[in-house]
Chains A and B, each alone.
Chain A
């Protein structure tokens, strides 16, 4: 009774909410009471569809908006996922809608569903009121649930349709599947029923996350379904570690068949969608494939190319860290480091051993220092009083500069010369004694001015071995041609010639001198003249 009362009042409240203007919702007013009643009514309506909800009815007295919302949320979450499945299923196969009507949900429910769907659609515009969102979601969840149930049944029906050729009274694929499932359940120790329930739970959990996205309902439903199935499998495996099965690597047989069924459904639908005939000829099938390929390629051409195909690409033009994913080929200028293998080490060791035996070490040798210039005669600091006067010092210096030959040798030079002379003498004597073949004394060439002076007069230090007569060059002794004629040998012409040259010379000499004398006299006379003036 109370429920019926709530029902009627709730319906009235909904009607009222529908009729009110949207701005009224923005300001706090009595419309909140109406909204509460309406939400209670809806909650009660949805209660049968959601067996898990802890609340029998929506508690609104004394609760604030947040708490009411929480209650609705708890109820609506599971419903939403099921609603989504249903909606997707309906979207794929519109004729299924008719079938769902015949399901054991009751006409009242259907009406309510219709009403609620309508309400949901109407209230979709009002985003200000949180309760409206809850209602929408509630509707969606219910729709999903219905869809899911319908899908399962549809699968069963499809199975029956497809496998007419294979199946007969003895063999049914459905029975086969059931048998396999039982076997699996026995192996893994999980109840078949619980296994079925788990995917649902997983589905619902996943759908909770994507609740807010209303656009991608279909895709999410598929994904949820697959994820749910995967999760079921994963849970089995994690429970039974080490028992790797075929299903682990190639997917479960149940899942496979389910997916196959889905594909079959898809192809069927595609075929139906395009041509309307169930059987296509091979040619037509090939044409279809070609067409799809062409579409694919055209699409690829139109789309912007992948960054790897774009030629020169800088870091800014490609996504972050994308170069890591691509296998890039570089030109390496450096030789790769040698791989150290046993053979390499063996060869090295052999070389080392042979080198040690040979004693051929490539030691670093000190670079030979360049031959330094011979140190100049460093004049030692003489501490003693110099014996020469300053004048003599400068005199010597001057003489050395101007006329090196006349300069008397310095003290050190003299000593050196004396020493070298003594040594040469000694060497000469020793050679004379030791050698079988006597070698004459060596000629020592010296750069010195040779005057045409008798040997006795010269006191210059001369090498003992050389006679003074040989010091002068022959030209220095006598200059002239080889043909010398004595006085008696000359011919008449030659005598005349000789006299003529003599006279010529004499005349030239005598001509110079008188000119000189004349000059002197003139100057002196002129000077005397000037002096007097």
Chain B
């Protein structure tokens, strides 16, 4: 009893063990991040993009598999493109980037344009409908679409070139691919076109803005 009351004191005979050196960890692989689980992405293929997908399949597959190191396959039954991480996928975001790339293709963008998504971080895709801007029916709607594209698509190309974006006009839906500020400019010019301003006016605005964007 008497022994228990007294505090046991260990005499420090040997010096304290030296602290271990700071560990240096290598960054986690995508594989390890999810505790070794594999991550999936599934992108549905709309029917109008089925044939283009078939034609451009290899152009899609090569960068995704070789550079992004993400498994990709087409589920014909489900009509979906499936993406899966590998154990040696270097970065977590690769999967997401690849998914975005495939999704952009599905929206209607070309492969060289969509590939920019894989290569650059700050690119986004924005979509909106014409009816979000202005309620148009029947002929007015058709005319608005025509105004947006221009003759032979020249208005659309003008906007694309001046703002360094890519635009897809799918009936009443509009998709814009590019950097954030550029998307804004393209969107505003498209909206003004929908609202009814003539192409010339939009051109002049674009000229001014593009000079500023180029700086």
Would you call B143 an interface residue if the criterion is a C-beta within 8 Å of the partner chain's C-beta atoms? no
Would you call B47 an interface residue if the criterion is a C-beta within 8 Å of the partner chain's C-beta atoms? no
What is the minimal beta-carbon distance from B182 to any residue of chain A, in angstroms? 10
Taking a contact as CB atoms closer than 8 A, the residue among A378, A386, A391, A397 that contacts B161 in the complex is: A386
Task: Tell me if B164 and A383 are in contact (CB < 8 A).
Answer: no
- State how many residues of chain A have any CB contact under 8 Å with chain B: 22
The closest CB in chain B to the CB of A391 belongs to: B116
Would you call B177 an interface residue if the criterion is a C-beta within 8 Å of the partner chain's C-beta atoms? yes
Contact A385 B157, CB 8 Å, known A379-B211, A394-B116:
yes
Would you call B153 an interface residue if the criterion is a C-beta within 8 Å of the partner chain's C-beta atoms? yes
The closest CB in chain A to the CB of B161 belongs to: A382
Would you call A288 an interface residue if the criterion is a C-beta within 8 Å of the partner chain's C-beta atoms? no
Task: Tell me if B24 and A523 are in contact (CB < 8 A).
Answer: yes
Task: List B contacts of A510 (CB < 8 A).
Answer: none
Contact A394 B157, CB 8 Å, known A378-B207, A389-B112:
no
The closest CB in chain A to the CB of B156 belongs to: A385
Task: List A contacts of B116 (CB < 8 A).
Answer: 389-391, 393-394
A386 to B165, CA, bound (A): 11
Task: Tell me if B154 and A390 are in contact (CB < 8 A).
Answer: no
Task: List A contacts of B110 (CB < 8 A).
Answer: 389
A405 to B145, CA, bound (A): 43
Task: Tell me if A381 and B113 are in contact (CB < 8 A).
Answer: no
Task: List A contacts of B214 (CB < 8 A).
Answer: 379
Task: Tell me if A389 and B115 are in contact (CB < 8 A).
Answer: yes
What is the minimal beta-carbon distance from B119 to any residue of chain A, in angstroms? 5
The closest CB in chain B to the CB of A387 belongs to: B112
Task: Tell me if A392 and B112 are in contact (CB < 8 A).
Answer: yes
Would you call A530 an interface residue if the criterion is a C-beta within 8 Å of the partner chain's C-beta atoms? yes
The closest CB in chain B to the CB of A388 belongs to: B112
What is the minimal beta-carbon distance from B140 to any residue of chain A, in angstroms? 25
A383 to B116, CA, bound (A): 22
Contact A381 B164, CB 8 Å, known A389-B110, A390-B178, A530-B23:
no
Interface mask (B106-117 → A, CB under 8 Å = 1, otherwise 0): 000011110110
A367 to B146, CA, bound (A): 51
Task: Tell me if A391 and B158 are in contact (CB < 8 A).
Answer: no
Would you call A395 an interface residue if the criterion is a C-beta within 8 Å of the partner chain's C-beta atoms? yes
Task: List B contacts of A393 (CB < 8 A).
Answer: 116, 164
Task: Tell me if B158 and A381 are in contact (CB < 8 A).
Answer: yes
Task: List B contacts of A381 (CB < 8 A).
Answer: 158, 161-162, 203, 206-207, 210
Contact A526 B21, CB 8 Å, known A378-B211, A389-B110, A391-B113:
yes
Task: List B contacts of A392 (CB < 8 A).
Answer: 112
Interface mask (A369-384 → B, CB under 8 Å = 1, otherwise 0): 0000000101101111
Task: Tell me if A379 and B157 are in contact (CB < 8 A).
Answer: no
A-facing residues in B165-211 (Cβ within 8 Å): 165-166, 177-178, 203, 206-207, 210-211
Taking a contact as CB atoms closer than 8 A, the residue among B21, B112, B150 that contacts A391 in the complex is: B112
Task: Tell me if A382 and B24 are in contact (CB < 8 A).
Answer: no
Interface mask (B1-32 → A, CB under 8 Å = 1, otherwise 0): 00000000000000000001101100000000
The closest CB in chain B to the CB of A530 belongs to: B23
Task: List B contacts of A383 (CB < 8 A).
Answer: 150, 154-155, 157-158
The closest CB in chain A to the CB of B111 belongs to: A389
Task: List A contacts of B211 (CB < 8 A).
Answer: 376, 378-379
What is the minimal beta-carbon distance from B7 to any residue of chain A, in angstroms? 32
Would you call B120 an interface residue if the criterion is a C-beta within 8 Å of the partner chain's C-beta atoms? yes
A386 to B164, CA, bound (A): 10
Interface centre among B111, B120, B177, by most chain A C-beta atoms within 10 angstroms, is B120
The closest CB in chain B to the CB of A393 belongs to: B164
What is the minimal beta-carbon distance from A401 to any residue of chain B, in angstroms? 12
Would you call B160 an interface residue if the criterion is a C-beta within 8 Å of the partner chain's C-beta atoms? yes
The closest CB in chain B to the CB of A376 belongs to: B211
A395 to B24, CA, bound (A): 34
The closest CB in chain A to the CB of B25 belongs to: A527
A-B residue pairs in contact (CB < 8 Å), sample of 23: A379-B210, A381-B161, A381-B162, A382-B158, A383-B154, A383-B158, A385-B153, A385-B157, A385-B160, A386-B157, A386-B160, A388-B112, A389-B110, A389-B113, A389-B115, A391-B112, A391-B113, A391-B119, A393-B164, A394-B119, A526-B21, A530-B20, A530-B23
4 interchain residue pairs of minimum CB distance: A389-B112, A391-B116, A383-B154, A390-B113
Q: A381-B210, A382-B162 are in contact. List 15 more A-B contacts (CB 8 A).
A: A379-B211, A381-B162, A381-B207, A383-B155, A383-B158, A384-B154, A385-B160, A386-B161, A390-B113, A390-B166, A391-B115, A392-B112, A394-B116, A394-B120, A527-B23
